Amino acid sequence: MGHHCCSKQKVKRGLWSPEEDERLVRYITQHGHSCWSSVPKHAGLQRCGKSCRLRWINYLRPDLKRGTFSEQEERTIIDVHRILGNRWAQIAKHLPGRTDNEVKNFWNSCIKKKLIAQGLDPKTHNLLPASKSLLHGGGGGGANPSGNNMARFRPNGGGGAAATPFTISSPAKGGFEAAHTGGMPCGNGGFSASMAAFMDEEAAMWASAVEPGMGVAGMDLPQQQQQQQQIQLVQQETAVVGPRPTALMLTDVAATAGAMAGKSVEMVDVSSVVYGGGGGGATAAFDLDLMVESCGMFCGGAGNAMEQLQWDC
């Protein structure tokens, strides 16, 4: 087979030998890689340019940070992924020294499973259907009527029947708090103790996206600041304008965009939360490239919920 780009040549495939690595490193440090297709020829390698590029970017680059991901990096990945989806290259830009491949592998091998274990859909960061029924227990009143974990309510948050102190960004934490504040109908065994314990354990991680004014349990101030910087970076990247929205708002909006674009994003109720809420007519103060590219138009629906969700400060 071989790559279409190098099918004419006889190229070696598979793992790289130390000698090949050395050749590639030596060549690139001396000449750079302005044209990958010519690199193998000049470096004396029986590889295609694509393979050389991959090897350099993912393994040989001197600025690579290797080793396990820190908790901070993990939080960043989750937060950015919630906004950008599977744009690994974009996500990796927020993690100096990490490659898209590394981030992707870490996501698939680790984070994804964590999310699933928490009953979250790793694609949408929403509760999986099974978990929804678990959390909502089939009981009645007061609970988030949408069943969508992305629906969050502010403590001072205006409207609706939700008087529950939903201040969280984390779906898991939300479920946990709700269960413990009676905001959700736990029912008899609708929300297991073990699950609550698990969520409690994970709360610190999820707290990463909590509004800054709220303080974040389990995260010290520098961490919060660092986290905040990451979120701001994403905001800049997505051309956010206007008042600073929470990471969650970005998430909701971006996810909604994804849903509108039919990208198999299960965000059925997000718009009702972010835009709908209690009616109203404020248009979101977003100009997300992401959204433009996703759906071509921005359904600046209704609702003053956007304002309600903005930063406190």
Residue-level length of the chain: 313
* x-or-dash string of contact with DNA, 62-81, rule CB under 7 A: ------x-------------
Alpha-carbon span 299 to 291, nearest angstrom: 10
Structure tokens at 4: 């279409």
Interface with DNA by CB under 7 A: which range of 1-9, 138-146, 218-226, 234-242?
Answer: 1-9
**Is residue 102 within the footprint of DNA (CB under 7 A)?**
yes
Gyration radius of the chain over CA positions? 23
CB within 8 Å of 45: residues ≥ 6 apart: 12, 20, 23, 24, 39, 52
Alpha-carbon span 98 to 278, nearest angstrom: 43
Among 29, 108, 192, 283, binds DNA (CB under 7 A): 108
Structure tokens at 235: 């905001």
Interface with DNA by CB under 7 A: which range of 9-17, 134-142, 264-272, 282-290?
Answer: 9-17
Alpha-carbon span 140 to 210, nearest angstrom: 27
**Is residue 10 within the footprint of DNA (CB under 7 A)?**
no
> Least Å distance between CB 31 and DNA?
13
* Amino acid at position 299, single letter: C
Interface with DNA by CB under 7 A: which range of 74-82, 98-106, 135-143, 284-292?
Answer: 98-106
Alpha-carbon span 299 to 196, nearest angstrom: 36
Among 36, 121, 146, 285, binds DNA (CB under 7 A): 36
**Is residue 58 within the footprint of DNA (CB under 7 A)?**
yes
Our CB check for DNA shows the closer of 111 and 134 to be 111
Among 27, 28, 45, 55, binds DNA (CB under 7 A): 55
How many residues touch DNA under the rule CB under 7 A: the total is: 36
Burial category of 175 from C-beta neighbours within 10 Å (exposed 0-12, middle 13-18, buried 19 and up): buried
Our CB check for DNA shows the closer of 35 and 163 to be 35
Alpha-carbon span 276 to 270, nearest angstrom: 9
> Least Å distance between CB 257 and DNA?
16
**Is residue 138 within the footprint of DNA (CB under 7 A)?**
no
Interface with DNA by CB under 7 A: which range of 23-31, 55-63, 74-82, 200-208?
Answer: 55-63
Our CB check for DNA shows the closer of 68 and 156 to be 68
- Nearest CA to 251 among 303, 206, 215? 206
Q: What is the DSSP letter of 95?
A: S
> Least Å distance between CB 172 and DNA?
20
**Is residue 9 within the footprint of DNA (CB under 7 A)?**
no
260-291: b or e for each residue (b if 16 or more CB lie within 10 Å)? beebebbbebbbbbbbbbeebebebbbebebb
Among 29, 70, 86, 283, binds DNA (CB under 7 A): 86
Alpha-carbon span 232 to 139, nearest angstrom: 39
- The site for DNA (CB under 7 A) is made up of 1-5, 13-16, 35-37, 49-51, 53-55, 58-59, 68, 86-90, 100-102, 104-106, 108-110, 113
